[in-house]
Amino acid sequence: MMNKEEKKNYISEMETQFQNNKAILVTHYQGLTMSQLDDLRAQMREHGIKFKITKNRITKLALEKTKCKDLSNLFEGATAVAFSDDAIMSARILSKFAKTNENLKLLGGIMDNEVLDQEGVQNVANLPTLDEARTNIVGILAASASKFVSILLARSEKMSTLSPENSEKTT
């Protein structure tokens, strides 16, 4: 049981986490073993994501003063929260982990200031990351540029093979 000072510190820490992170995803973890939780935390830590098991009643108090107050209805039962600035990576890791561990349930969350339900979190998990999107754009641009250059080269080759008498007929 927490004393008053510990509760104040917990509330303050949670308020800070809710205010300072762009992506907050809420899960239920009941039934996961400690080794499974440790594995999930390790995967999240690799990407700078904090995964914290919450104390629901006190967390709801912390939520009241933050942009995340709309999430308070999700804090029932064995709840844990992923805090990060990368909603896509958080959603991907949690979604992938939930596929192999049926005891992890994605409940919803917030991306920037938009509230997400379970389906919304799954949609975010399927989005390309910023690096993947950049790679795709560069690939598209490079392909377009190379097609353009090949068209120009083909026309110049065609023009250079025309004889002077053929060029008069074509113009």
> Tell me, what's the pLDDT at 15?
92
Indicate the pTM of the whole model. 0.73
> Tell me, what's the pLDDT at 150?
73
As a whole number, the mean pLDDT across the chain is 85
Segment 88-128, tens digit of pLDDT: 899 999 999 999 999 999 999 998 888 888 888 888 887 77
* Band (87; pLDDT cuts 50, 70, 90): confident
Kindly state the tokens that stand for 1. 């049981």
Is pLDDT larger for residue 114 or for residue 167? 114
